[in-house]
Amino acid sequence: MAAGVSPAAAAPAIATPDEQLAPTPRRAWTARLVTTATIRSKPEADAKPIGRIAPIAVWNGGVVRLLVLGRHAGVDGRRWLRVALPTRPNGSDGWIDADVARLSATPWRIEIDLRARRGSAFRDGRRVRTWPVVIGTAATPTPRGLFAVYERVRQPLGSELGPWALHITGHSDVLDDFGGGPGRVALHGRAGALLNDPLGSAASHGCIRQDDGVIAWLAARAGPGTPVLVR
């Protein structure tokens, strides 16, 4: 967990046997990796491996929690989790052995309305906060889809990105690289020259900007794996 973040962001819980684990407006499940996970194309031990994900995040060294999209029990009793992947193309998912992860439930959900240029935070399906945002330009649009927080990265003092950047599993559809990363989209604050772009405008490379107070509030609640719906 990143320093200074409330542990209440994701409340540990045990899934019931009939729980399908797909995200709902009231709750989502996250899978905290306890070891490097092999991603497979199907919930089968001999299915094609399509990648591997380490349990330690790249930027901040924190834990990796993946948004769970479903679960499958094989005829051999082995359990599998379908998870949203932090890789291209956007919307990628795959299957991991449930034994390499620990499940937790989160009541938090973030939604970004690109048309209205506003963000909203929901807890247990109830909207608890809404705020104006800066979104991507027409040439570098913010991608739409269901994503998840991948890393919470505290920014250095005086950063134009404000105090926090919440990297999500989505990537720019037109840029392969920006900000020193692989074109990954983030929710972050705004300071310095970024204040020249008013809230409610379309001026970013695809990231979603909000006031520093808002991003600090989100960072204390939306831990890795928290759903982020951009529509």
Distance CA 38, CA 198 (A): 43
**Residue among 72, 167, 205, 207 flagged as catalytic:** 207
**Residue among 72, 167, 171, 188 flagged as catalytic:** 188
Q: Which two tokens stand for residue 164?
A: 């926090």
* φ, ψ at 99 (rounded to 5°): -70, -15
* φ, ψ at 223 (rounded to 5°): -80, 175
Distance CA 120, CA 19 (A): 27
Contact 166, 215 (CB under 8 A): yes
- State the amino acid at position 51 in one-letter form: G
Is 207 known to be catalytic? yes
H or E, element range at 187: strand 184-188
Distance CA 137, CA 29 (A): 32
Is 205 known to be catalytic? no
CB atoms within 10 A of CB 107: 18
User: Which residues are annotated as catalytic?
Assistant: 188, 207
